[in-house]
């Protein structure tokens, strides 16, 4: 019965879509957003900018549970397009196929091959790094009308990654970059909750995933799965060093990473922060990132984005050769674009913490030089992106 209902829904859906495309016009003043997780990242940043700056556009946000967000931003219409049996709810088809702009951080709402000919599909994306496309799906058809990247360096590599012509890849930076320059009160309250005192420095540790829990892409064959840390004893030693240096390490695991068996609740100065915590506090992660004192990462896109914050960065590179031989890199040696401490051993990590404690920051000028090579400069990324997409106030 369920199979029959599914087939029936898809037939009705296809017929309805044909009628919409034939008889309904695209409404250029309607924008639909989608993100993963729901209501987050570049989609949320751009949607809220449009609302707060008086753009004459109707903004919709496609989420799993609209009731969860109904009272957050009254000017945004939250809805769920997901159908039980087909691709979309029949009640949402008119909205989906007549909206002027369809913007998503991950899975596209519609592709150009399925959308109305006058709709504009935009891949806001969720970050550029130096990872290669090995093991990734190949896009057989162009999946968007425009996609955003941080700067010119990523146009060619991302066009290859997405299997599209370079003209569809726009070096505009990301909407969330504006958050990295803010001092949000709710984010400040959240970060202060983890500090020992006012002098405590907060080090954010955001490793990329090594083992994909979705089973799509194994980026490393590391036995420990976590950079530099191959025993609980090292975690305990690191925790004690943080106590001595008045540093709190906030570990933000990648959402695709298989679960680590790390007893965070037993540490004094090493804590885990999750998407759930950000969601419950209604604090976008990048507003939290903007208030941290330093970053510890690797080949992840956060290490590029954090150049806007311009605080010390360290890169864990203990599995560099292994990573090169599995996932691979988009450039010959990405380390030339890593302005900070290069950590290959646990001892290197401890030296980095001591530099933070003593206030040594010898890579500041190098970070600024690399930032200008990787990220297009802008005083207002959201406005520049909207102008590029011909969305005028």
Separation of alpha carbons 43 and 176, rounded Å: 8
Separation of alpha carbons 121 and 6, rounded Å: 27
**Token couple for 4:** 């029959």
What pLDDT does 71 receive? Answer: 87
Top CATH class of 2-173+379-388 equals alpha beta
Q: What are the residue ranges spanned by the domains of the chain?
A: 2-173+379-388, 181-374
Separation of alpha carbons 118 and 101, rounded Å: 9
Tokens 């915590």 belong to residue: 277
What does pLDDT average to over the chain? 90
Q: Which CATH architecture has domain 181-374?
A: 3-Layer(aba) Sandwich (3.40)
Residues 6+ apart with CB under 8 A from 42: 35, 105, 124, 125, 126, 148, 174, 175, 176
Determine the 3-state secondary structure of 383 from DSSP. Answer: helix
User: What are 213-248's pLDDT values in tens digits?
Assistant: 444 444 444 444 688 998 899 999 999 999 999 999
Q: Of 327, 79, 286, which Cα lies nearest the Cα of 175?
A: 286
Q: Is residue 141 predicted with pLDDT exceeding 90? A: no
Q: Is residue 51 predicted with pLDDT exceeding 80? A: yes
User: What are 87-139's pLDDT values in tens digits?
Assistant: 899 999 999 999 999 999 999 999 998 999 999 999 999 999 987 654 444 55
Quote the percentage of the chain above a pLDDT of 90: 74
Q: Is the fold of 2-173+379-388 the same as that of 181-374? A: yes
What pLDDT does 6 receive? Answer: 77
Residues 6+ apart with CB under 8 A from 308: 177, 180, 181, 371, 375
Confidence of residue 280 (pLDDT cuts 50, 70, 90): very high
What pLDDT does 210 receive? Answer: 60
User: What are 19-45's pLDDT values in tens digits?
Assistant: 999 999 999 999 999 999 999 999 999
What pLDDT does 110 receive? Answer: 94
The least confident of 145-154, 237-246, 267-276, 315-324 is: 315-324
């Amino acid at each position: 019965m369920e199979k029959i209902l599914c087939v029936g829904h898809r037939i009705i859906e296809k017929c309805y879509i044909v009628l919409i495309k034939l008889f309904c016009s695209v409404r250029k003043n309607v924008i639909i957003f989608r993100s993963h997780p729901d209501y987050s990242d570049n989609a949320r940043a751009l949607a809220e900018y449009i609302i707060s700056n008086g753009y004459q556009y109707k903004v919709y946000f496609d989420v799993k549970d609209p009731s969860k967000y109904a009272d957050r931003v009254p000017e945004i219409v939250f809805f769920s397009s997901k159908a039980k049996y087909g691709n979309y709810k029949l009640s949402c088809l008119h909205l989906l196929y007549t909206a002027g702009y369809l913007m998503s951080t991950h899975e596209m709402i519609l592709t150009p091959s399925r959308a109305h000919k006058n709709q504009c599909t935009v891949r806001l994306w969720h970050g550029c790094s130096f990872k290669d496309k090995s093991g990734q799906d190949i896009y057989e058809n162009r999946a968007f009308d425009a996609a955003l990247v941080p700067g010119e360096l990523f146009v060619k590599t991302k066009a290859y990654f997405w299997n599209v012509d370079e003209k569809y890849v726009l070096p505009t930076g990301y909407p969330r970059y504006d958050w990295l320059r803010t001092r949000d009160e709710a984010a400040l309250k959240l970060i202060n909750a983890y500090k020992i005192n006012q002098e405590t420095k907060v080090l954010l540790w955001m490793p990329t995933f090594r083992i994909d829990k979705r089973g799509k892409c194994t980026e490393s064959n590391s036995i420990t799965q976590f950079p530099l840390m191959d025993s609980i004893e090292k975690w305990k030693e690191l925790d004690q060093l943080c106590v001595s240096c008045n540093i709190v390490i906030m570990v933000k695991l990648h959402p695709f990473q298989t679960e680590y068996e790390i007893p965070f609740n037993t540490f004094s100065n090493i804590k885990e922060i999750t998407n759930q915590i950000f969601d419950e506090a209604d604090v976008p992660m990048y507003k939290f990132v903007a208030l941290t004192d330093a970053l510890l990462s690797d080949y992840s896109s956060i290490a590029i984005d954090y150049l806007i914050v311009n605080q010390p960065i360290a890169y864990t590179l203990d599995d560099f050769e292994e990573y090169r031989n599995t996932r691979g890199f988009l450039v010959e040696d990405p380390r030339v674009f890593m302005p900070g401490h290069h950590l290959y051993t646990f001892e290197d990590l401890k030296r980095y913490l001591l530099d933070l404690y003593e206030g040594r920051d010898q890579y500041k000028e190098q970070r600024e030089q690399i930032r200008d090579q990787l990220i297009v400069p802008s005083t207002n990324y959201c406005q520049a992106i909207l102008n590029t997409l011909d969305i005028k106030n």
